[in-house]
Amino acid sequence: MRLRHFTKRYETVAQAASAARHHAWLAEHARPLRLPALTVVGPTSLTYEWIDGRPARPEDLLTLARLLGDAHGAAWAADLRPASLNTPHRFRDGIAFGDYIAPRQTALRRRLEQGYLPDQAALHAMLTLLEKTAKGPTAFYKDSNPRNFIITEVGDIYAVDTDDLTLAPMGYDLAKLIASLILTYGPLPAPVIDSTLRAYNEAAERHDPRLGTTDRERLNDFLALHAVLTAPYAGRNGYRDSWTARPCPRGSA
């Protein structure tokens, strides 16, 4: 059988090199994630194995939560144990990928300029929330939206579009998956979100008990950040719903 491939092109040599480095880092340190093979590295392009499948749907959420918890725990144990959320993480060659705070401070200020935050007081509240969440063990963020997981006919799950990594607290990338599923498919019931968080924590804490401590309040803080950070994409890229369709609070119907 002839293998199919997909070539992704980049504007600069640096962007292509960064994407290849991030793919290699995940392949080494987050081994529970299955990645398409990177077959050719060009100056401004990367060629990957083509994966036939569908994007993630709400019914996949529990499985993906376990996968993310396992991957975040594995990466923490392998490489991120000493990492700080406030400091870019350096590869062996000295080049870094982004910290948690600085890129999101920039993005939140941009949301004010774009009109997605009403005033400086709202921006201050979001920056304060960002600082509040910058604690605990360090994971990675790979933008876990439904389109960035491909699920094959036999149920294998591949993580795709891994060009841009940053550091993030445990649970932050899970919150992005929940948020983006809500934006794509509509509200998720509170019990589903509770079960998802429990599955994530159980998978993470198998690597170390300290990793399975994300609670619902902290998850809600992450969701509030994602509500602002994803606001420009509502109505685009498959995000058909809006953030009026929030996850139900704990204990509601």
Domain boundaries, the chain: 53-233
- CA 70 from chain centre, in angstroms, equals 14
Summarize the confidence of residues 88-93 as an average pLDDT: 79
Q: What number of helices (H) and strands (E) belong to the chain?
A: 7, 10
Task: Write out pLDDT tens, residues 110-168.
Answer: 999 999 999 999 999 999 999 999 999 999 999 999 999 999 999 999 999 999 999 99
CATH of domain 53-233: 3.90.1200.10
Q: How many CB atoms lie within 10 A of CB 191?
A: 11
Check whether 214 has a pLDDT greater than 80.
Answer: yes
Task: Extract the tokens encoding 43.
Answer: 């100056």
pLDDT value, residue 90: 84
Length of the chain: 253
Task: Write out pLDDT tens, residues 43-73.
Answer: 999 999 999 999 999 999 999 999 999 999 9
Q: What does the alpha-carbon distance between residue 90 and residue 219 come to, in Å, rounded to a whole number? A: 27
pLDDT value, residue 94: 65
Closest among 167, 105, 96 to 131, alpha carbons compared: 105
Summarize the confidence of residues 79-97 as an average pLDDT: 85
Q: How many CB atoms lie within 10 A of CB 206?
A: 15
Pairing status of strand 38-41 against strand 45-49: antiparallel
Q: What does the alpha-carbon distance between residue 74 and residue 204 come to, in Å, rounded to a whole number? A: 8
Strand partners, 55: 150
pLDDT-derived band of residue 233, with 50, 70 and 90 as boundaries?
confident
